Amino acid sequence: TEGEPGALRTPIVAVLGHVDHGKTSLLDKIRGSAVHEGEAGAITQHIGSTAVPLDTISDIAGELVDPDDFDLPGLLYIDTPGHHSFSTLRSRGGALADIAILVVDVNDGFQPQTHEAMDILARTGTPFIVAANKIDTVPGWNPEPNRPSKVAIESQSDRVESDLNERLYEIIGQLSSKDISADMYWRVQDFQSNVGVVPVSAETGEGVPDLLTVLMGLSQRYMKDEMAIDVGGPAAGTVLEVKDTQGFGTTIDGVIYDGTIQANDTIVVGAKPNSIVTEVRALLQPKPLAEIRSDEEFEQVSEVAAAEGVKIAAPDLDDAMAGAPIRVVRDRDTSDVVDLVQQEL
Ligand code: GTP
Ligand code: MG
């Protein structure tokens, strides 16, 4: 696919929300559903992200998603921490995202980091949907594992249904008090002017099929043009974290959202006062099934193409900053690329 013009990359989906509202559990559930559908291994854990291919989305969503209707390759999810001290990472995740899921616990409603996440999305102009999570905790909920939530809700007792609706309308009200017109996703006609609320349970899986369907539909309809990339071109990415990796010293965990990065590339990484110009020493990705703890958690790869997560080992990364741009120089003048990076800081 190298250099293929007009190729479409995977949209990047940030998962944002208050601490403990279930962001990580929701991603775990999506992974679990893939395993359930016999798609173990189809979902790959990247550095700081989870890639879910279209065929897997279609298997989980059942008749809701026909892969023939889509030409985007899938979705790449970025988990973010909800704890108040991680506002930089949330902000980076939000800025990097093409689209976002705002996770709200139906019992807790809007909390400080929910508001903060919404401010980030407004500032960056990122379209989002709301996952109203933990619907299984409504007293008397009768689990309908992994079914679309619209169907699962209809099969509950009247009491449970009205109890849940009360909480959902509370959330819709909180959105509208922030001047955001929102409704249950099945009533939304125009997702550009209305935010869809998808009731879900990260515990029992209700709503996961609809959540993936709505995201995929939104991406396809409104973001296709933005996903057209120059696959073989020099990579552009964002630093998510700067950390020590055994055997490699200071490394950066980043997400590549355009082009490709190769193991022998010269890169520019944003830093103050001067951006870093350095040579890639290794591109690292988690070994498949790296759950088994071993000394070699990562494998070296020769190339990474958008959109993917990657750990980059290179000299002189100590001053790299979370959120800073990463640019591959390739056939360009290093000083031009440095200027480009400085402008973005
Ligand atoms: P941070 O990363 O710390 O911001 O939290 P998080 O949003 O990733 O929340 P996490 O997924 O860690 O879930 C927090 C707790 O809520 C865990 O104990 C989960 O098991 C529980 N939980 C998450 N989703 C659900 C759900 O849908 N139903 C129920 N019953 N529990 C849930
Ligand atoms: Mg989490």
pLDDT in tens, 19-42: 999 999 999 898 877 666 666 666
**Is the confidence metric ipTM above 0.85 for this complex?**
yes
Q: Is 204 in the pocket of ligand 1 (CB under 6 A)?
A: no
Q: Which residue lies with its CA nearest to atom 10 of ligand 1?
A: 22
**pLDDT digit string, tens, across residues 50-67:** 888 898 888 888 888 888
pTM: 0.90
Going from the Cα of 145 to the center of ligand 2, the distance in angstroms, rounded, reads 22
Token pair belonging to 298: 């990562």
Q: Compute the mean pLDDT over every residue in the chain, rounded to the nearest whole number.
A: 89
Averaged pLDDT, 256-273: 95
Q: Is 24 in the pocket of ligand 1 (CB under 6 A)?
A: yes
Going from the Cα of 171 to the center of ligand 2, the distance in angstroms, rounded, reads 21
In the prediction, which pLDDT does 330 show?
A: 96
- The minimum-distance atom of ligand 1 relative to the CA of 134 is 27
- CB of 329 within 8 A of CB of 337? yes
Cα separation, 88 vs 242, in Å, equals 13
- The minimum-distance atom of ligand 1 relative to the CA of 17 is 7
Residue 261 has pLDDT above 60, yes or no: yes
Cα separation, 267 vs 255, in Å, equals 14
Q: Which has the closest alpha carbon to 88: 308, 272, 240?
A: 240
Q: Is 327 in the pocket of ligand 1 (CB under 6 A)?
A: no
Using CA atoms, how far residue 48 sits from 6, 58, 77, 207, 252, in Å, is 27, 23, 9, 24, 11
**pLDDT digit string, tens, across residues 165-203:** 999 999 999 999 999 999 999 999 999 899 999 999 999
